[in-house]
Amino acid sequence: MIEITTGTLEERIIKLLKKTYPISVDDIKNELNVSKDMILRTLKKFQMKGIVRLEPLSDKTYVRLLRHDFSFIGKKRQRKFIKHRTGKRQESNDYDGIMYS
């Protein structure tokens, strides 16, 4: 079981590789909006651990996920704040004011 910290670039790459296959390094770069150097550094680290295999072709480098036993560690958090509505308050119309007392 490979443990990966949530909220890191490694987690985002692994989840993207699980979701889409085949995928190239340029596709990962465009999807995650991260520089190609950071992605290649992370993928080479994964390749040394035996998690992925980089398959260079003439014009693109494809990434193949070799292992699927990942455990994501960290606090579960909500990325976007949810605004809760309280509902409209009803005004009472039976108050006549001080003028009519």
Q: What is the pLDDT of residue 69?
A: 87
Q: Which residues lie across from 70 on neighbouring strands?
A: 2
Whether the model clears a pTM of 0.85, i.e. scores above it, the answer is no
Q: Convert the pLDDT of each residue in 43-70 to its tens digit.
A: 999 999 999 999 999 899 999 999 888 8
How many of the other CB atoms lie within 10 Å of CB of 25? 17
Q: Convert the pLDDT of each residue in 65-90 to its tens digit.
A: 998 888 888 877 666 777 777 767 66
Domains of the chain (ranges; CATH) run: 2-76 (1.10.10.10)
Structure tokens of 65? 């996920």
Q: What is the pLDDT of residue 33?
A: 92
